Amino acid sequence: MKIVVLGAGAWGTALAVSAAAHAGGNAVTLWARDEQQAAAMQAARCNQRYLPGLAFAPALQVVAGDARALAASAELIVIGTPMAALRGMLQLLKDSQAPIAWLCKGFEAGTGLMAHEVCAEVAPQLASGVLSGPSFAQEVARAQPTALVAASRHASVRDALVQAFHGPSLRVYASEDIVGVEVGGAVKNVLAIATGLCDGLQLGLNARAALITRGLAEMTRLGLALGARTDTFMGLSGLGDLVLTATGDLSRNRRVGLLLADGKSLQQAVDSLGHVAEGVYSARTVVQRARAAGVEMPIAECVVALLDGRLHAADAVARLMEREPTVERR
């Protein structure tokens, strides 16, 4: 299969590496926005900035230039940009005939839209979907066992993603519930900041378990209000991605919470990462979308107050613990 991956960050590169090593004999082109970055990666045969030391297979080529022209001959297009760049990329590709999938997780700033809703506005005729689930880029690039979800209302998109990526080290499950998969991918980043805060304050494993469990309930409530299926949140893109991002040492969003607990400012925390932490940018839109849907999300609300500087770390914990007793439910 001829695959084009647009975006040479850590996750886009990792999936390009995985697809190029696939037994199916994929021909993979990784597109970088910056010409110097593309030339350096092509010459070094690795992405030294994001995935140092992980060599590219011969089937992977790195280019820059006209992304639209490059994508015109692809059999599968994968958008590996952050959420903020998705709308522009979809506008660029609106006349594409090939299946398109994005990797970003979050709600669009300003509009509060999920990625598939952005696509419905910009290019409703596209056969499109999302590839998501519990995954760190480094582990996928190293071919360590991983499972993902290909979610789309279009069977052609689900089938193309399975064909391109499913193999001995990477399982790809298909789902029609794109709403649930995208809600899980967005909300888990916000909850990971809260869990990092919990761990940074050394509140203990009981507190962490409670936070993850109640966070899953918040995620599920929002998803159901937006039209998702309940079972999606007990799967890879719900519980699976939440547990990984909230507890894994490679999680950038968890790292933000740890740094805030250590007394760092939000700007200091973000600057120290060197990568995008989507939870920082999507937390407000998650809460806005929840309010509009009439959904209570107290943990996400505390994260937003913390990021906005309206609440200190210890006060965020106290606010959650002081809530009135209630019955456990979703």
Element holding 210 (H helix, E strand): helix 205-225
Q: Which of 250, 256, 242, 255 is nearest to 209 (CA)?
A: 242
94 assigned to active site:
no
User: Catalytic residue among 2, 94, 105, 188, which?
Assistant: 188
Task: Extract the runs of DSSP E, i.e. beta strands, from the chain.
Answer: 2-6, 27-31, 60-63, 76-79, 100-102, 128-132, 146-151, 170-175
Beta strands 170-175 and 76-79, pairing class: unpaired
CB within 8 Å of 305: residues ≥ 6 apart? 311, 316
Report the distance separating Cα 103 and Cα 83, nearest Å. Answer: 9
Q: Encoding tokens for residue 306? A: 């913390």
Measured between alpha carbons, how far is residue 187 from residues 27, 199, 253, 297 in Å? 34, 19, 11, 10
Is the distance from CB of 75 to CB of 5 less than 8 angstroms? no
Q: Report, as residue numbers or ranges, the catalytic residues.
A: 188
